[in-house]
Amino acid sequence: GDSVTQMEGPVTLSEEAFLTINCTYTATGYPSLFWYVQYPGEGLQLLLKATKADDKGSNKGFEATYRKETTSFHLEKGSVQVSDSAVYFCARGPNFGNEKLTFGTGTRLTIIP
Amino acid sequence: EAQVTQNPRYLITVTGKKLTVTCSQNMNHEYMSWYRQDPGLGLRQIYYSMNVEVTDKGDVPEGYKVSRKEKRNFPLILESPSPNQTSLYFCASSLSPGQGNTEAFFGQGTRLTVV
């Protein structure tokens, strides 16, 4: 069935390191794709999104490109900060009658000074 | 300020004692849903509602009920809670998926412990 698979965590990086969190999806068509972030003790909030193939979503230095050829939406940031420590969720939007957001399992990111 | 408000934030209860977690949104969204978050499983949808008086089961509906009598409110009801319902619960709202913008807004979460 339709699903979202993202990189297992936890991930620990030093400040200013390069970050990649992999995400792939399955879908019948071309759904919107999202990255949500959950800071400690808070709910999820939208980090970035892309609504069609080859779109690049970006926010707070994070980027992700909608790649239909590889059905991927990998999250990247060139230089992480301690404040980026959080749990990151990749999600796929509604697709041909499946009306819900489908989430990956989440990746916990810890940045050490 | 656009927001989704859940209450309570924390709840400890005993097996079998009925409880309700409230959820309210102020964005006039049609679509609302409940998720539970468990380690290693991500977010799993419990129930959703496409509009007033329209609700349907998500992936893990057993042991839960919902109602949607008003557009802004979508309470989650546990008639007889059990320890396996100990989890972190999130309410979310968005425009109707058919409108193309499915960005979801989440509440701050309710951490439920059933002993």
Per-residue pLDDT in tens (0 to 9) along chain B, 115 residues: 889 999 999 999 999 999 999 999 999 999 999 999 998 888 999 999 989 999 999 999 999 999 999 999 999 999 999 999 999 999 999 887 766 667 889 999 999 999 9
Tell me if chain B has a CB within 8 Å of the CB of A57: no
- The overall average pLDDT reported for chain A is 91
Q: State the CB neighbour count (10 A cutoff) for residue A69.
A: 7
d(CA A26, CA B48): 22
Which residue of B lies nearest to A40 if distances are taken between CA atoms? B108
Tell me if chain B has a CB within 8 Å of the CB of A101: yes
Peptide bond into B8 cis (omega under 30): yes
d(CA B115, CA B112): 10
How confident is residue A18, by pLDDT bands cut at 50, 70 and 90?
A: very high
| Interface probe with B: pick from A46, A101, A105, most Cβ of B within 10 Å | A101
Nearest by CB: A100 against B45, B100, B107: B45
Q: How many residues does chain B have?
A: 115
Phi first, then psi: what are they for A24, rounded to 5°?
-130, 155
Strand order in the sheet with B4-7: B4-7, B19-25, B76-78, B65-66
Short-list B100, B98, B95, CA closest to B28: B95
How confident is residue A100, by pLDDT bands cut at 50, 70 and 90?
A: confident
Contacts of A32 in chain B (CB under 8 A): 100, 102
Average pLDDT over residues A3-21: 93
Phi-psi region of A83 (alpha: psi -120 to 50; beta: other; left: phi over 0): alpha
Average pLDDT over residues A12-29: 93
Does the beta-carbon distance from B48 to A51 stay under 8 Å? no
Average pLDDT over residues A54-75: 96
Interface of B with A in 42-101 (CB under 8 A): 42-43, 45, 48, 50, 58, 90, 92, 97-98, 100
How confident is residue A97, by pLDDT bands cut at 50, 70 and 90?
A: low
In B1-115, DSSP assigns E strands to 4-7, 10-13, 19-25, 31-38, 42-51, 54-57, 65-66, 76-78, 87-94, 105-106, 110-114
Statement: residue A10 has pLDDT above 90: yes
d(CA B32, CA B88): 17
d(CA B93, CA B106): 7
In percent, the amount of chain A with pLDDT more than 70 equals 94
- Written as one letter, the residue type at B55 is T
Which residue of A lies nearest to B108 if distances are taken between CA atoms? A43
